[in-house]
A = this chain, B = another copy of it.
Amino acid sequence: MNAVVVAVGSELLGPGRRDTNAEWLIARLFELGIETTSRTAVVDDVARIARAVRAALVDASAVILTGGLGPTDDDRTRDAVAAALEVPLERDDAMAQRIAALFTSRGRTPGPRQVRQADRPRGALWIDNPLGSAPGLLVATEQSLLAALPGVPSEMRAMFDATVAPRLATMARGALAATTLRIAGRPESFVDGLVRDLYAWEGTETTILASAGGVDLILTARGNDAASARQRLSGLAGAMRERLGVDVYGSDHDTLAAVVGALLATKGATVAIGESCTGGLLGGAFTDVPGSSAWFRGGVVCYADDLKTSLAHVPETLLAAHGAVSEPVARALAAGARRVGSADFGLGITGIAGPSGGTADKPVGTVHIALADDGEGRAIRLDWPGDRDLIRRRAVTVALDLLRRRLLA
């Protein structure tokens, strides 16, 4: 069983707008074991809404609409649902009286606009609205369901949970379970190559998603009930973890910085930063974790080369011999951060984030990352392309992962 969510409202298509009603509905449908196969937001236009509803009815056994049920002229969902179902819109006199009574009880006079809310496509049932005046619409058979709910989030949520969810739960024979495996320090193609044959695991689906320096494997499993879905999921997740080993740093909402922080806390160890091209983003990532003061000390940002010497004690001779973007300088930054930060570990980052500053020898995207510890430390060189933002965020991810792998070694 699958669902399509249609959100109605011109305001949803404006700049800077986010469709949070759809996001909420998708999460609730998922909990009911129902996969949402598409979501659409559409302006207040009868023909366009009707087209979206017709397409949704072809695609899905559950169609959930939100918005466009209010009293104003640009509330067009009633008309559009009637058009999509090819039935007339009819006034329900009992509902009209109820709406009028509601207004009168609040000391207001109901006008013709309010009474429009008593119109419904022939054959539709009302969904009671405990929080407002706009009732919802329900068109249901044993195999399919169309529900239209108001756009006001509190009303939409209450009506979905009270009336729509129980019906869907009866329809959805089966359950879904999902988890995300989070991987760092490996390219997408490498991860894909390691686990690709597991994508065919029975009753499951896998999506691979790359971000700056990280890869997510999103796993979904289907079962007759929640327990069997979870069992399938843990079978697949276990098989993938076995292949990927230490490349998997966490799951679901784990962040790499929080995972590294937890490892540091377990060992009672601390870290300090010496950043050049990332300018403080690595420190920003560490301190994004609540409670990071237990293991993050601070450090130095040495964007200018003379500060690499004065703040992180990188020898001028090293800068002259190898250039600021080099492994020896990254190692010296890490060691300097460790020393001036009085920390167990130091991380140093120096690179060319662009868009200018690249050379044939050291093109934009060249980043040296080093870890200093009480031994020989570690260093890594990145030379993947990308824009300034991507190069910097990737450098932060790889630096965090370098420390994570050292802590696990």
A contact residues vs B (CB 8 Å cutoff): 9-11, 13-19, 23, 26-27, 30-31, 35-45, 48, 51-52, 55, 58-59, 70-74, 106, 108, 113-114, 131-132, 152, 154, 158, 178, 188-189, 192, 196, 199, 205, 207-210, 216, 218, 220, 273, 275-284, 286-288, 290-293, 296-304, 306-307, 310-311, 340-342, 353-356, 384-390, 392
Contact = CB atoms under 8 A, between A and B. Distances in A.
Given A48-B59, A72-B192, A287 B277 contact: yes
B300 A298 contact: yes
A401 to B, nearest CB: 18
A397 to B, nearest CB: 14
A48 B42 contact: no
A393 B114 CA distance: 25
A18 B13 contact: no
Q: Is the interface of A mostly helix, strand, loop or mixed?
A: mixed
B41 A39 contact: yes
B279 A287 contact: yes
Contact of A207 (B74, B113, B280): B74
A299 B216 CA distance: 34
Contacts of A30: 14-15
A24 to B, nearest CB: 9
Given A38-B48, A284-B280, A288-B388, A218 B14 contact: yes
Residue of A35, A281, A310 most packed against chain B (CB within 10 A):
A281
A307 B16 CA distance: 40
Contact of A311 (B10, B106, B300): B300
A202 B114 CA distance: 26
Residue of A131, A282, A307 most packed against chain B (CB within 10 A):
A307
Contacts of A210: 152
A403 to B, nearest CB: 16
B15 A390 contact: no
B207 A9 contact: yes
Contacts of A152: 210
A280 B301 contact: yes
B311 A303 contact: no
Contacts of A196: 73
Residue of A38, A132, A355, A385 most packed against chain B (CB within 10 A):
A38
B43 A38 contact: yes
Contacts of A218: 10-11, 14-16
B303 A73 contact: no
A253 to B, nearest CB: 8
Contact of A298 (B188, B307, B389): B307
Contacts of A386: 131, 154
B283 A279 contact: yes
A108 B281 CA distance: 30
A303 B273 CA distance: 11
